[in-house]
């Protein structure tokens, strides 16, 4: 506990107060979105900060869910397929770089490192033309395949250092039993890297879930993702104009809920994964 404030109340109170104020401000958009989905347009216009609730309770949430449920399911499937692909391929490569000696290992590692220098705006246009040339437009594969490729560099770096950190004795014992590399990857490297796999998976989930630009280029509105649905919101004609904004905020909240649940479930791993201090130069 060296160097922390054991100071008196005159120091402690402002210290906690400052952090709380910044935290409340940082979380305010989430709160605002959830609350605005509960009130109607007139209540919002009167006071955007009020806690008014429109009757019947949650009506906009129900309508927003009907609007977005199909897109949510589609987005869950696209995100899950991408993150599984990133993790499986990333672990295979990370294991090879960490545990196997082979011709070209240095060169191939630099090829992976070079990926970090390719920004997404550079590849956006040719990638769009490429998947169109492959006939993948309107197909979720047009998203999943590039997402798997785009997630490799970061995943391989982090997984590789995690596997390198596993004590040699674990692998030695397995080798004596005649285990193959694939077996050691499945039985030793993967289970011991679970926290970091979850942390990387979570970062990928948030990035893919909220992606708007590339999906809106390759998917039609009839098969859109949840982020596209909120970006190109088309209110049902039955909703009066003044309440459209509340319906939108209900939809924003619904789109955010799966990520919030995942974070709450895995926050320990996430915090621990980033606390290892691996991210620096």
Partner 1 sequence: MSRTLKAWAFLAPTFIFVGTFCYWPAIRALEGAFTSWDGVSAPKWIGLKNFYQLFHDSVFLGSFLHLLWWSLIGIPVGMGASLLVALLIYRLDSKRAQYWFRVAFALTLCLPGIVGILTWENFYEIGGVIDTLLSDVGLGRFDTAWLANPHTALGALIFMGFPWVGAFAMLVFYAGLQSIPGEIIDAASVDGISSLRRVWHVELPLIKGQLKVILILSIIGITQNLLPPLLLTGGGPANTTWVPVLYMYENAFQYAQMGYALSIAFILFVVSLVLALVTMRYLRSDNETRRRVA
What is the DSSP code string of 46-76? H-TT----PSSTTHHHHHHHHHHHHHHHHHH
167 HSE (CA, 13 A, CB side): 3
CA distance 107 to 91: 19
Query: What's the min distance (Å) between Cβ of 14 and partner 1?
Result: 10
Query: What's the min distance (Å) between Cβ of 137 and partner 1?
Result: 13
Are the C-beta atoms of residues 39 and 50 closer than 8 Å to each other?
yes
- Map the footprint of partner 1 across residues 33-92, applying CB under 8 A: 33, 36, 45, 47-49, 89-90, 92
H or E element that contains 14: helix 9-36
CB under 8 A, 24+ apart: contacts of 53-56: 54/246
Is residue 164 involved in binding partner 1 (CB under 8 A)?
Answer: no
Stretch of residues binding partner 1 (CB under 8 A), selected from 28-36, 51-59, 163-171, 235-243:
28-36
Is residue 9 involved in binding partner 1 (CB under 8 A)?
Answer: no
Is residue 250 involved in binding partner 1 (CB under 8 A)?
Answer: no
Query: What's the min distance (Å) between Cβ of 256 and partner 1?
Result: 6
Angle at 232 between CA 228 and CA 238, to 5 degrees: 120
**One of 127, 158, 184, 189 touching partner 1 (CB under 8 A):** 127
**One of 65, 76, 259, 269 touching partner 1 (CB under 8 A):** 259
Q: Which is nearer to partner 1, 45 or 66 (CB)?
A: 45
Stretch of residues binding partner 1 (CB under 8 A), selected from 18-26, 56-64, 76-84, 162-170:
18-26
CB atoms within 10 A of CB 264: 8
- Map the footprint of partner 1 across residues 220-249, applying CB under 8 A: 227, 230-231, 245, 248-249
């Amino acid at each position: 506990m060296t160097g922390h404030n054991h100071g008196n109340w005159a120091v402690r109170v402002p210290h906690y107060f400052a952090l709380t104020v910044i935290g409340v401000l940082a979380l305010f958009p989430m709160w605002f979105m959830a609350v605005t989905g509960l009130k109607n347009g007139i209540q919002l216009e009167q006071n955007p900060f009020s806690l008014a609730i429109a009757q019947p309770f949650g009506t906009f949430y129900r309508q927003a869910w009907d609007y977005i449920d199909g897109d949510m399911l589609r987005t869950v499937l696209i995100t899950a397929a991408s993150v599984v692909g990133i993790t499986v391929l990333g672990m295979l490569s990370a294991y090879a770089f960490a545990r196997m000696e082979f011709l070209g290992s240095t060169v191939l590692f630099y090829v992976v490192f070079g990926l970090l220098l390719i920004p997404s705006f550079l590849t956006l246009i040719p990638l769009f033309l490429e998947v169109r040339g492959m006939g993948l437009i309107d197909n979720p594969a047009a998203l999943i395949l590039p997402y798997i490729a785009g997630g490799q560099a970061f995943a391989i770096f982090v997984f590789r250092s995690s596997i390198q950190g596993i004590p040699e004795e674990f692998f030695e014992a397995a080798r004596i039993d005649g285990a193959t590399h694939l077996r050691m990857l499945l039985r030793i490297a993967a289970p011991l890297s679970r926290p970091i796999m979850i942390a990387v998976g979570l970062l990928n989930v948030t990035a893919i879930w909220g992606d708007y630009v590339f999906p809106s280029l390759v998917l039609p509105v009839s098969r859109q993702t949840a982020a596209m649905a909120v970006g190109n919101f088309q209110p049902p004609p039955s909703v009066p104009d003044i309440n459209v904004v509340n319906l939108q905020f209900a939809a924003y909240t619904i789109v955010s809920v799966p990520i919030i649940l995942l974070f709450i479930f895995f926050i320990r791993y996430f915090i621990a994964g980033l606390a290892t201090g691996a991210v620096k130069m």
